[in-house]
């Protein structure tokens, strides 16, 4: 296990989480039933990346790009991207010391959660609009 993996897993365990080191070296853990992923990037000691992945209908990608771009513009630090059937919400930063992530983890989770909530609301609104368009006109 690399030094940053050890640093992250030790902290997560101390905080009561159950971190799992994946084959690619990423560390998965759950917060309130939601899975988050820390990418250790052992080759860059000052880099910290936390991600959340959301599965969705890939056939909506072109329709949702404006929404994803709006989220990117409205949230500090969060980068929203889509690939096939996955939307990824990521925070990335450089830290003076690798251990500084401890002070930022909660804030990173908070901003991902807020962007995730806004994304969910916008997707539900878009789906409701699409359903209205597809409804046949009623004759009164």
Compute and round to an integer the Cα radius of gyration of the chain.
18
Give the pLDDT of residue 23.
94
| CATH of the domain spanning 3-134 | 3.30.1460.10
Give the pLDDT of residue 139.
55
Q: Dig out the tokens for 93 from the structure.
A: 């930063």
Tell which wins on pLDDT, 122 or 97: 97
Lowest pLDDT segment from 44-48, 53-57, 134-138: 134-138
Residue 107 has pLDDT above 90, yes or no: yes
Average pLDDT, the chain: 88
76 pLDDT band, cuts 50/70/90, is confident
Residue % of the chain over a pLDDT of 70 = 89
Give the pLDDT of residue 60.
62
Domain boundary assignment for the chain: 3-134
Q: How far is the C-alpha of 22 from the C-alpha of 93, rounded, in Å?
A: 22
Q: How far is the C-alpha of 64 from the C-alpha of 19, rounded, in Å?
A: 32
* DSSP sequence for the chain: --HHHHHHHHHHHHTT---EE-TTS-EEEEETTEEEEEE--TT-TTEEEEEEEEE--GGGHHHHHHHHHHHHHHSSSEEEEEETTEEEEEEEEE-SSGGGHHHHHHHHHHHHHHHHHHHHHHHHHHHHHHHHHHSPPPP-
Residue 140 has pLDDT above 60, yes or no: no
Residue 52 has pLDDT above 60, yes or no: yes
Residue % of the chain over a pLDDT of 90 = 58
> Once rounded to an integer, what is the mean pLDDT over residues 74-103?
91
Give the pLDDT of residue 59.
62
């Amino acid at each position: 296990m690399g030094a940053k993996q050890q640093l992250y897993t030790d902290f997560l365990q101390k905080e009561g989480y159950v971190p799992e080191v994946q084959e690619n070296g990423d560390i998965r853990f759950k917060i309130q039933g939601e899975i988050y992923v820390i990418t250790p990037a052992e080759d860059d000691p000052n880099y910290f990346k936390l991600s959340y992945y959301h599965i969705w209908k890939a056939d909506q990608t072109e329709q949702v790009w404006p929404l994803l771009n709006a989220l990117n513009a409205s949230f500090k630090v969060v980068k929203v991207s889509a690939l096939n059937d996955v939307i990824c919400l990521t925070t990335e930063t450089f830290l003076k010391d690798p251990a500084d992530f401890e002070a930022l983890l909660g804030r990173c989770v908070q901003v991902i959660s807020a962007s995730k909530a806004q994304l969910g609301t916008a997707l539900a609104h878009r789906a409701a609009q699409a359903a209205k368009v597809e409804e046949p006109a009623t004759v009164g």
